[in-house]
Amino acid sequence: MIRPPFVARVAAGLAVTALEEAKKLPETAVALPMTAVSQMLQTSMRLQQSITSLAIKGDQAFALLSWTGDDEQPEWAVFDEDVKPSSPKTRESPTNAGRFALYSVDPTAETAPQPDAEADLDSDTDNTAASEPPIVAELDYANLTLAELRARIKSLSVENLTTLLDYENATRSRAPYVTMLTNRITTAKAK
Tens digit of pLDDT for each residue in 151-162? 998 899 999 999
Answer yes or no: is 12 within a domain.
yes
Instruction: State the total domains in the chain.
Output: 2
User: Which has more pLDDT, 23 or 125?
Assistant: 23
Answer yes or no: is 72 within a domain.
no
Answer yes or no: is 151 within a domain.
yes
- 122 and 186, same domain (yes or no): yes
Full residue range of the structural domain in which residue 137 is found: 112-190
Per the rule left: phi > 0, alpha: psi between -120 and 50, beta: everything else, 173 is: left
Answer yes or no: is 97 within a domain.
no
Answer yes or no: is 76 within a domain.
no
* pLDDT more than 70, % of the chain: 69
Q: Is the pTM of this model over 0.75?
A: no
Answer yes or no: is 32 within a domain.
yes
In the chain, at which residue ranges do the beta strands (DSSP E only) sit? Answer: none
Q: Tell me the CA distances in angstroms from 107 to 27, 54, 91, 110, 139, one per residue in order.
A: 71, 51, 11, 8, 20
- Chain centroid to Cα 30, Å, comes to 44
